[in-house]
Amino acid sequence: QSVLTQPPSASGTPGQRVTISCSGSSSNIGSNYVHWYQQLPGTAPKLLIYRNNQRPSGVPDRFSGSKSGTSASLAISGLRSEEEADYYCAAWDDSLSAVVFGGGTKLTVL
Amino acid sequence: QITLKESGPTLVKPTQTLTLTCTFSGFSLSSTGVGVGWIRQPPGKALEWLALIYWDDDKRYSPSLKSRLTITKDTSKNQVVLTMTNMDPVDTATYYCTRSVQLGNFAYWGQGTLVTVSS
């Protein structure tokens, strides 16, 4: 049971906009930054969004992040087939004194 | 260019101690704000954070695994070592080494190393 809650799956067609949610509590998302990771099949995770809505160099602006209260979202616009992957949210939890991850969302591009 | 690479045994027996080494390049663990951490992923399952060590030797551990984990650094060798005691088959996972400049923010990852726990 993950501390951060994500839907197990999401889907979209090429070109579509999809969003993935991440729900937490006041001790994690509510008081700390949220970061998002993309894990393509058989590869190590890659940082996609940091500090709620910042993109590392090289990440297309089709990827965006937002946070409100104790929830966060990752949005992907102009969906591409190569973005079929698992997506994870992460945050520091003040109560646990630990980095906590969501359970991951498997994105399928139909 | 920042790179990290994990090394260690691929197979350990139950109750044994696992020792993993992360060898990195392209940055120094003596630079202010820099940390190196370990994250694991059981086959087909989610990511799980294990431990972090910072430039000032501040160490953070997963509360659920704290009693079994030790993280150390050798700045001169650009290495971070993670030991996990009393290994169990449920610890079978790919173990990743990562660079962190903020709690939860892991900008660089190693390729990962699969560790299987079996007798």
Handedness of CA B89, B116, B40, B63 (dihedral sign): positive
Where does residue B46 rank: exposed (0-12), middle (13-18), buried (19+ CB within 10 A)?
Answer: middle
Question: How many of the other CB atoms lie within 10 Å of CB of A9?
Answer: 12
Q: Among all chains, which residue has been given the structure tokens 């610890």?
A: B91
| Per-residue pLDDT tens over the stretch A70-99 | 999 999 999 999 999 999 999 999 999 999
CA distance B92 to B116: 5
Could you give the CA distance from residue A104 to residue A86 in angstroms, rounded to a whole number?
A: 6
Q: Give the best residue of A51, A99, A100, A101 to mutate against chain B (max B CB count within 10 A).
A: A99
B63-119 pLDDT tens trace = 999 999 999 999 999 999 999 999 999 999 999 999 998 888 999 999 999 999 999
Report the mean per-residue pLDDT for chain A.
97
Are the beta carbons of B104 and A32 separated by less than 8 Å?
yes
What is the secondary structure of chain B as a DSSP string?
A: --EEEEES-SEE-TTPPEEEEEEEESS-TTSTT-EEEEEEE-TTS--EEEEEEETT--EEE-TTTGGGEEEEEEGGGTEEEEEE-S--GGG-EEEEEEEEEETTEEEEE---EEEEE--
| CB within 8 Å of A57: residues ≥ 6 apart | none
Contact A101, B46 (CB under 8 A): yes
Q: Nearest residue of B to residue A51 by CA position?
A: B105
DSSP E strands, chain A? 9-12, 18-23, 34-39, 46-49, 63-68, 71-76, 85-93, 98-101, 105-109
- Quick check: A105 pLDDT over 90? yes
Q: Are the Cβ atoms of A44 and B110 closer than 8 angstroms?
A: yes
pLDDT at residue B26 in the model: 96
Closest chain B residue to A90, measured at CA: B104
Please answer yes or no on whether A46 and B109 come within 8 Å at the CB atom.
yes
